[in-house]
Amino acid sequence: AQSVSQHNHHVILSEAASLELGCNYSYGGTVNLFWYVQYPGQHLQLLLKYFSGDPLVKGIKGFEAEFIKSKFSFNLRKPSVQWSDTAEYFCAFLLSYNTDKLIFGTGTRLQVFP
């Protein structure tokens, strides 16, 4: 069955540290990929998405993600985190042949300490 794995369930960093959150999907065909973020007390919102083209995607607030097809991965990165990046991050993918099925990962909780 298609699934998304987010290996890091809880990440704790100090401000200015670099961030990389892992996301791997299990599906051999074409996919569309997303990262969503939920800040404390706020709604889930889109951070970035990849459909085609340049595999390095830039999103809001300095985040970027790289699609590596050979590794079935779409890892989220930020070179220098801030306290305000404390949030829960969800990776998701959409099967290109079935646009009714968006599959979410279990989420990674990021805590950034000043």
Residues that bind another protein (CB under 8 A): 4, 9, 32, 36, 42-46, 49, 51, 90, 92, 94, 99-107
> Closer CB to another protein, residue 57 or residue 105?
105
**Rounded to 10 degrees, what is the CA torsion of 7, 13, 19, 23?**
10
Give the shortest CB-45-to-another protein separation in angstroms. Answer: 7
> Closer CB to another protein, residue 33 or residue 81?
33
Instruction: Give the separation between CA 39 and CA 54, rounded to whole angstroms.
Output: 28
Give the shortest CB-63-to-another protein separation in angstroms. Answer: 15
For the chain, count helices (H), then strands (E). 0, 12
